[in-house]
Structure 1
Amino acid sequence: MTIQKLTLQNFKNHLSKSFEFSPQINCFVGNNGVGKTNVLDALHYLSVGKSFLGNTDLNNIHTSTPLSVAEDFFTIEGEIFDGEKENIIKIQQPKEAKKIIKKNDKSYDRIADHIGFLPSVIISPYDSNLISDSGESRRKFLDAMISQTDSEYLFNLIQYQKTVQQRNALLKSFAKNRYFDAESLEIYNEPLIKFGTKIFEKRKEFIHSILPLIQNYYEIISNGKEKVSVIYNSDLNEESFENLLNKNLEKDRILTYTSKGIHKDDLLFEMNGNLLKKIGSQGQQKSFLIALKLSQMNRIKEITGKTPILLLDDIFDKLDDSRVSQLIELVNQEHFGQIFITDTHKERTENVVRKITDESKIFEI
């Protein structure tokens, strides 16, 4: 998959901008705050229909500045070659209407139907939240990784989340009305068990398949200095979902929410047998996150036959020269496909890119 052209209108600080890309490496260089990361975010939109920065769609519409007025929509358009033909993906977000995603002028009925057409992997400073934040961040990341290659998983996840919301609403209603009916609550047990167990099995299988890749990539980047691991922590590792729901019925009634299930799963990132967030330096943590993302990219390529686009935001920050060199050599050897890089140092970027290929473009933002 190759993005040949990107056109932005009223997207964040880019009122009107167009880029024609190299099929190999594209670099966006400039000072902080000029909008380099925003370009990567637009490319991420083309892939999954939303921002990787966590912004709501409406917040990405250009707002007023001393030199410009606020706008009432944004548009992102990409020309994408899939190996056989060119496709046009167009995303438009009006201020007063819902977001529209079109492929070759035909709107998707559901945004979920677009997921997987243009797979992508992004490595950015915001990834550090995966290590420092709560389990929710890691669950969302795990779900996003699997969903890019498994539409059935995404369907099961959506159904599971709806069921949890409905069960929680009923528990809150019981508490409000000082009334409890266990039989009414049991209606939600069957779909929770059905969809939750499928999600659990997929997650377990995915972590098992990706762990050797993570360990291999980390060993290359770190020159074998440390050993890392990923542990899938789930209540379903110990007992069935049905038992969990039955055992925690009274607890759920008191708390007024579903306290056990795969919506409480977590990933434990370890280095040399200890939690990475407790003992890992910033460089070690970033090296681990890069290994994690490159492994994700490898799996997507293996499962779908598509080479994902690789988005590297401020990739060289907090890595020493040795780890940068290992990373560049790794990217060069693995043939990761089309790569997009942001950096504040033009000369550093040019030196790094030159080691990989002459077929590159550098855009000063």
Structure 2
Amino acid sequence: MLKLDSISLVQFKNYQQTSFSFQQRIVGIAGKNGVGKTNLLDAIYYCCFTKSYFARSDSQNVLRGAAGFRIEAHFTLQGEPLKIVCILRENGKKEFLVNDEPYEKLAQHIGRLPCVIIAPDDIQIITGGSEDRRRFLDMLLSQLDATYLQQLIDYNRVLQQRNSFLKSIAEKRLTDTSLLDVYDRQLVYYGNYVFEKRRQFLAEFIPAVQRSYRHIAGVDEQLDIDYESQLLQQPLADLFFRFREKDILLQRTTTGIHKDDLDIRFQQQPFKQIASQGQRKSLLFALKLAEFEALKTAKGFAPLLLLDDVFEKLDEQRMHNLLGEVCVKNKGQLFISDTHAERINRHFSQLTDTFQVIGL
């Protein structure tokens, strides 16, 4: 089992210096808006992913007026203690240590402490563009497969180099485009691995999402989800050759795994266009719970589950179905934030007699 026992924050977001201790598997975090509920969840996420879920830059996580931050967390993983320390120095350098041993590469930590988070802006996975759905899928697969993460990092690095060269072709009026052949071979090598992993994983993941959606929604609604990739119709090497002139004209790479998407349809129509708010939220939670189960199956223990302000997003019946999934069936540790302590107590007391509520 994976359990977070305590965490201390120094100059992290709105926390000057604070410590929290967690005695129970189910932990509620209650307080008014702006007191730091989401920030506490983000600090837990940071310990699992070496970065914030909400801020793109590490500097955005520093307390206003301060020059850096420090997070220290104590976990128990499969019966063994695990100490995590993350320090952002004044010069912007970040250090990440496990049991006082630093990582050579931060990517080595991804997947060691599996974690699933559900936050209000996650609805973009349903209503946003393809990049939102790819990001969700990539974060999940990166926790399951370290090689996938590295291949994806390498693919994106070469993709940036190829795009820069495509721009220089137009700006410098270059006639020798042989460097594109080098970039294309590298992208094919990395991209094929990512594509195959996505295709194989989604064959089992999509049915799990559909089952979870029906349970949360409480009705048997027809929901179709398909993996969309240009590589399903043509090899990546052929695609790069076919679209080379177009890429040179547009000065960017127009084909590849960075264009993959999930096509979600409801009653044969685009889901995000006709689905109600409740249906959209149900699908979001279904995706996240299927992610939770995939990690649990692969790791042999339940990941941490972080729920930020979910009580405001679902009606009572859907909320009851969701909490039944995460509190009763889930054997992992759950952290859930809400503005009302009494609401947390009411919902949890109907499901279990062992939970903890922290007031901020």
Shorter-chain TM range is over 0.9
Structure 2 counterpart of 1:92, which letter?
A: I
2:309 is aligned to 314
Distance 1:23 1:272, change over 3 A: farther
Does 2:7 align with 1:6?
yes
TM-score by length of 1: 0.95
Give the Cα separation in 2 of the matches to 1:76 and 1:323: 35
Quote the RMSD (CA, aligned, Å): 1.3
Identity of aligned residues (%): 38
How far apart are residue 225 of structure 1 and its match?
4.5
How far apart are residue 333 of structure 1 and its match?
3.7
How far apart are residue 279 of structure 1 and its match?
0.9
Alignment of 1:232-243 (within 5 A): 232-243=227-238
1:74 is aligned to 69
Task: Structure 1 unaligned segments of length 5 or more: list them.
Answer: 64-69
1:162 is aligned to 157
1:301 is aligned to 296
Asked whether the equivalents of residues 2 and 23 of structure 1 are also in contact (C-alpha less than 8 Å), the reply is no
Does 2:326 align with 1:345?
no
* SS of residue in 2 equivalent to 1:80: strand
Asked whether the equivalents of residues 29 and 342 of structure 1 are also in contact (C-alpha less than 8 Å), the reply is yes
Q: Which digits, 9 at most, give the CA deviation of each residue in 1:36-90, with x for residues without a partner? A: 0000000000110111113411111000xxxxxx111111111000022111001
Does 2:25 align with 1:24?
yes
Q: Which digits, 9 at most, give the CA deviation of each residue in 1:208-239, with x for residues without a partner? A: 11112111111111112423232211111111
1:185 is aligned to 180
Structure 2 counterpart of 1:78, which letter?
A: A
Give the Cα separation in 2 of the matches to 1:115 and 1:196: 20
1:215 is aligned to 210
How far apart are residue 265 of structure 1 and its match?
1.1
Give the Cα separation in 2 of the matches to 1:100 and 1:305: 29
Give the Cα separation in 2 of the matches to 1:92 and 1:194: 35
How far apart are residue 155 of structure 1 and its match?
0.9
TM-score by length of 2: 0.97
2:88 is aligned to 93
Asked whether the equivalents of residues 4 and 20 of structure 1 are also in contact (C-alpha less than 8 Å), the reply is yes
Asked whether the equivalents of residues 228 and 270 of structure 1 are also in contact (C-alpha less than 8 Å), the reply is yes
Give the Cα separation in 2 of the matches to 1:331 and 1:60: 29
Give the Cα separation in 2 of the matches to 1:50 and 1:252: 33
How far apart are residue 242 of structure 1 and its match?
1.2
* SS of residue in 1 equivalent to 2:8: strand
Runs of 4+ in 1 over 4 A off after TM superposition: none
Worse-superposed segment, 217-226 or 79-88: 217-226
Give the Cα separation in 2 of the matches to 1:89 and 1:229: 41
Task: Structure 2 unaligned segments of length 5 or more: list them.
Answer: none
Give the Cα separation in 2 of the matches to 1:240 and 1:153: 19
Asked whether the equivalents of residues 135 and 266 of structure 1 are also in contact (C-alpha less than 8 Å), the reply is yes
Does 2:139 align with 1:144?
yes
Asked whether the equivalents of residues 310 and 336 of structure 1 are also in contact (C-alpha less than 8 Å), the reply is no
